[in-house]
């Protein structure tokens, strides 16, 4: 069945507005440049978790393992 109502557009969310503004700004900056210059250089990888939290997680996992081994070696009953 075909709808007879005209298309309605929903308001953009603030996140969509920011994304659209960023895209427009990038497109505007690329106008008139050759394709090779437009292609972005490979971006450096950024971990989704900070080094501090990686250290805390590593200490919990490996620190517990080390303490367990030491307690079994030196605190035998």
- Residues 7-29 have pLDDT tens digits of 677 788 999 999 999 999 988 88
Whether the pTM exceeds 0.85: the reply is: no
Task: Mark the ranges of the chain whose per-residue pLDDT is less than 70.
Answer: 1-7, 38, 40-44, 77
Q: How many helices (H) and strands (E) does the chain have?
A: 4, 0
Tell me what pLDDT residue 26 has: 84
Cβ 60 vs Cβ 53: under 8 Å: no
């Amino acid at each position: 069945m075909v709808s007879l109502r005209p298309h309605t557009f929903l308001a953009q969310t603030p996140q969509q507005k920011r994304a659209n503004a960023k895209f427009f700004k990038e497109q505007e900056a690329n106008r008139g440049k050759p394709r090779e210059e437009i292609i972005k250089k490979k971006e450096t990888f950024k971990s989704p978790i900070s080094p501090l939290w990686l250290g805390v997680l590593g200490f919990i996992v490996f620190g517990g393992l080390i303490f367990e081994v030491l307690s079994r070696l030196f605190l035998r009953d």
